[in-house]
Structure formats: structure tokens, C-alpha cells
């Protein structure tokens, strides 16, 4: 979350302390039934997910701003592996 906040701030979108508290409450609540659309897609075994458009875009923005984002890079790598494994095999 801190890497994403750093990228947002570098892109001119500074989150308030209240914004951060609300995001953390939603994203870190283990008892919550809420899930991001990409997580729901993965849970359903979808062959295509929005990895490039969401995490890939955030990683590109971090790189463009010279920010170190090892967790974003790791998450993106895992999502790319997921997509490659789920893609239909050519006949």
C-alpha cells in the first residue's frame, strides 16, 4: 500500500490521512466480504485479468518517476504467471 501511495503522490494525487485510514480499513479487514474485481476474477479462474491495466500501469508510473517498487514488481510478475497458466493452449 505504501508503494502505491508513493506512486499516487508522485503522480500528483496525495491521499489524506482519512483516505488512507478508510482504504486500510477496507483492504486489511480479513472478515470483510469485499474483494477487488481482479481478485474475484482470479477466484473464478478467469483466463484474462486486468493485470496490465491496473498493476502494470502502476508499476510503469513508478518506474517513470524513478521510484523503487519491489512489491508492485513481484505482484505484477505473479499476475503475469497466472495469466500465462490460464491461457488456452494453441492446438
Q: Any idea which fold 2-86 has?
A: 1.10.1040
List, for the chain, all residue ranges whose pLDDT scores fall below the cut of 50: none
For 21, 34, 75, the CA distances from 79, given in Å and listed in that order, are: 27, 20, 6
In this prediction, residue 73 carries a pLDDT of: 97
In this prediction, residue 60 carries a pLDDT of: 98
Which pTM does this prediction carry? 0.83
**82 C-beta neighbours (distance < 10 Å), count:** 18
Q: Domains of the chain: which residue ranges?
A: 2-86
In this prediction, residue 16 carries a pLDDT of: 95
In this prediction, residue 42 carries a pLDDT of: 93
Those residues with Cβ within 8 angstroms of residue 79's Cβ, 6 or more apart along the chain or in another chain: 38, 49, 51, 55
Those residues with Cβ within 8 angstroms of residue 56's Cβ, 6 or more apart along the chain or in another chain: 76
In this prediction, residue 34 carries a pLDDT of: 87
CB contact at 8 A, 69 and 7: yes
Amino acid at each position: 500500500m505504501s508503494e502505491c501511495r508513493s506512486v499516487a503522490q508522485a503522480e500528483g494525487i496525495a491521499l489524506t490521512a482519512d483516505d488512507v485510514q478508510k482504504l486500510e480499513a477496507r483492504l486489511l479487514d480479513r472478515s470483510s466480504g469485499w474483494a477487488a474485481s481482479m481478485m474475484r476474477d482470479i477466484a473464478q479462474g478467469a483466463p484474462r485479468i486486468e493485470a496490465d491495466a491496473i498493476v502494470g500501469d502502476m508499476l510503469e508510473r513508478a518506474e517513470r518517476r524513478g521510484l523503487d517498487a519491489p512489491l508492485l514488481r513481484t505482484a505484477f510478475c505473479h499476475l503475469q504467471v497466472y495469466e500465462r497458466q490460464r491461457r488456452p493452449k494453441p492446438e
